[in-house]
Structure 1
């Protein structure tokens, strides 16, 4: 049965994700360091969309077209969020050989547990220099653009 978005989910999906320049740059460095494989990580912050923490995770697959988060790194990231009183605002990953647009796997709720959740999906494409970033809300077998911006110099 499809999950229904509640009021909290709808409000979260309308927020603007604000990514500090330092966090943006750290995500780019992570994506480039993991190439040619996909990287994966989380962004944590406050309920109004302010990103405060960059939490790189381990891709257990070490694969250029897919990622599976290694359990220990995800548990450590979630523990860090709890310790700091932050919530997970986004999950990011790279597309080393394709544009920053969600793939079928990205929007498949059987493959991606974040689909339909109030957590944005940040996709970093390594096709261009510098890498291109887009942010999306993922829904079962669909996606829509999220409002976002880079803050600071």
Structure 2
């Protein structure tokens, strides 16, 4: 499993994660899904989690619907969800695993003291366990 992440979308995710610190941020990423997934576009969404957002995020059903509509309108594949882990590693929690959907990639950005430090991607396997997906960073071809 491999995810190609263009520089501009990665910068947008990092900026969003740093801006929302100490809370978790969240959003969608899009691109082309062939044997290798290539991320070209990022869209932020509001963390809809009520209460403490420092350890949880939630995406509203309406935001998921709008994400799917955006993908169709722009001839893109909705590849997955990104979110941040403030002052925690870029590893999925048990809660992340329970709410994850098959096929999606899940990018997690560790934000330490307000600075994005580590970015990793994960996908569910057939046993509903996360497996890490390698990330290759490239120059931007499209936004």
**TM-score normalised to structure 1 length:** 0.79
Whether 1:101 aligns to 2:91 is: yes
Q: How many residues align?
A: 134
Q: Which shifted more, 121-130 or 143-152?
A: 121-130
Residue 112 (structure 2) pairs with residue 127 (structure 1) = yes
Please tell me the root mean square deviation across aligned C-alpha atoms, in Å. 1.8
CA distance in 2, matches of 1:39, 1:130: 12
Where structure 2 has 5 or more consecutive residues not aligned to the other structure, the ranges are none
Q: Please point out which of 128, 133, 136 is paired with 1:149.
A: 136
For residue 39 of structure 1, what is the aligned residue in structure 2?
A: 25
Q: CA deviation at 1:147?
A: 2.0
Trace 1:2-151 onto structure 2 (pairs within 5 A). 14=1, 16-48=2-34, 49-61=37-49, 63-108=53-98, 112-114=99-101, 117-127=102-112, 129-139=115-125, 142-151=129-138
In structure 2, relative to structure 1, the CA distance for the partners of 1:91 and 1:130 (3 Å cut) is closer
- Distance in 2 (CA, whole Å) between partners of 1:52 and 1:141 is 27
Q: Deviations over 1:65-87 (max 9, x none)?
A: 01110333332222110101211
Aligned partner of 1:5 in structure 2 is: none
C-alpha separation in 2, matches of 1:36 and 1:141: 29
Post-superposition CA distance 1:103-127 (Å, at most 9, x none): 110111xxx142xx11111000002
Give the gaps of 5 or more residues in structure 1.
1-13
Q: Is the 8 A contact 2:67 2:78 kept in 1?
A: no
2: distance between equivalents of 1:44 and 1:68? 19
Aligned counterpart, 1:9: none
Structure richer in strand, relative to its length: 2
Asked if structure 1 preserves the Cα contact closer than 8 Å seen for 2:86 and 2:111, the reply is yes
1:105 is paired with a residue of what secondary structure? helix
> Does the aligned pair in 2 maintain the 1:57–1:74 contact within 8 Å?
no
